[in-house]
Chain A
């Protein structure tokens, strides 16, 4: 979980950086330039197989983990009051992950799958920038994207430092920096992502 989780975090950094190019508001020139590179460069396309595997392994391991941890308490408590001992999002990683999975299905159906399918069939890339402008004209979809970003923020707020703890990296000298970077990452990256559909919907970017 920790290794795949951290791997997915590195993916988020790249994904977020490239998509943030839409904020240059240059009609998608820079964005499409990088999108084209990511969609066609053979090295990146090979790494993409690793990314898909990373997602699948993370999700599969997550589901196994949820199952194992449910089985370890067959009779539930009648009254539970965990609020004083732990945060709700640390206890809800499975739920947040499932929300992310649903988001991921919708999100790949919007962009990645049609684009790759088209490339496979015709060798041509789709104009992702135009697709983005039209898809994010629908307020319901914008809301769902923002919701996905909020789930991601909570997932990472626990997941980031948790991955370090799982790997045994807990040290007085570094804990403060791990928590600081983790919290900042968990807020800033989903915020930038969430601003994309909002900006397009509100015509800040066109």
Chain B
């Protein structure tokens, strides 16, 4: 296959970027999208040019590291990660425009690499259980319905790739944050801290400069892990419940 690639090139966060056009004529339909870029980069390195920087790690659709906004959609035309996207999804002779995730909260580091540590900070703000909950409990030891455990598992499938933010016209992180809130909100281990958790994570999300959700459902349609917007409604419920019933603990000192 022969492709024309329009790729966003930007030296550093502070420099001005621009699109550069590359003709790529060593593309096999069996290559993954990232392998296609690897071959492009090999050629660039041989010519003594700076290779195109892009994020990747596992290349098997489980780490959430790969990104890329391909022809107007995050992770390209299929609902999968870019590493699991293959060139057979494109036509011979096609022009492909490749851009980084665009969001105030995801600044460009270089070329197609963006800084997604805003997600880490949201997670650190409350996406955990403070006490050690021990090893894996015996089957059926925790009193929880299978359906609900499955729902929590589905929420926990989020790999933090940021496609939801990239897809959203508002660059809102609600799908990601709601998945991280839900995976605890649904399970008994998450209950003691549920109100503080949603408070802190939402506060951090707003602080990072993500937009507000207007329920367009673009995130759900593009999420490679099929996270559902029912999680967003659940997070909204958690949030209102915290707003109305959470209490401030004032420590009066002493204790002995």
Contact = CB atoms under 8 A, between A and B. Distances in A.
Interface of A: 65, 68-69, 71-82, 84-87, 90-91, 93, 158, 161-162, 165-170
Contact of A167 (B102, B171, B210, B236): B236
Nearest to A169: B233
Contact of A80 (B72, B209, B213, B221): B72
B99 A78 contact: yes
Given A72-B103, A73-B102, A85-B167, A166 B72 contact: no
Contacts of A87: 216
A72 B172 contact: yes
B221 A84 contact: yes
A63 B129 CA distance: 38
Contact of A82 (B72, B210, B215, B236): B72
Given A165-B215, A165-B229, A71 B104 contact: yes
B118 to A, nearest CB: 11
Interface string B170-214: 111000000000000000000000000000000000000111111
Given A81-B71, A162-B214, A170-B230, 4 more contacts: A74-B104, A77-B69, A91-B218, A165-B233
A78 B233 contact: no
A129 B233 CA distance: 45
Interface of B: 6, 8, 19, 69, 71-73, 97, 99, 102-105, 167, 169-172, 209-218, 221-222, 229-230, 232-234, 236-237, 240
17 contacts: A72-B105, A72-B172, A73-B103, A75-B102, A77-B72, A82-B218, A84-B221, A85-B221, A85-B222, A86-B218, A91-B218, A161-B215, A162-B214, A167-B236, A168-B234, A170-B229, A170-B233
A73 B232 contact: no
Contacts of A90: 214-217
Nearest to B74: A85
Nearest to A76: B102
A88 to B, nearest CB: 10
A86 B72 contact: no
Given A72-B210, A165-B233, A78 B19 contact: yes
Residue of A76, A77, A84 most packed against chain B (CB within 10 A): A77
A170 B216 CA distance: 15
B233 A86 contact: no
A73 B97 contact: no
A65 B170 CA distance: 9
B97 A93 contact: no
B217 A65 contact: no
Contacts of B19: 78
Nearest to B209: A72
A165 B104 CA distance: 25
Contacts of B211: 68-69, 71-73
B169 A69 contact: yes
B241 to A, nearest CB: 9
A162 B170 CA distance: 15
A168 B97 contact: no
Given A78-B19, A81-B73, A72 B216 contact: no
A85 B104 CA distance: 22
A71 B213 CA distance: 14
Report the 5 A-B pairs with minimum CB-CB distance, sorted nearest first: A81-B72, A170-B233, A72-B211, A168-B237, A85-B221
Given A72-B103, A72-B171, A65 B71 contact: no
Nearest to A62: B214
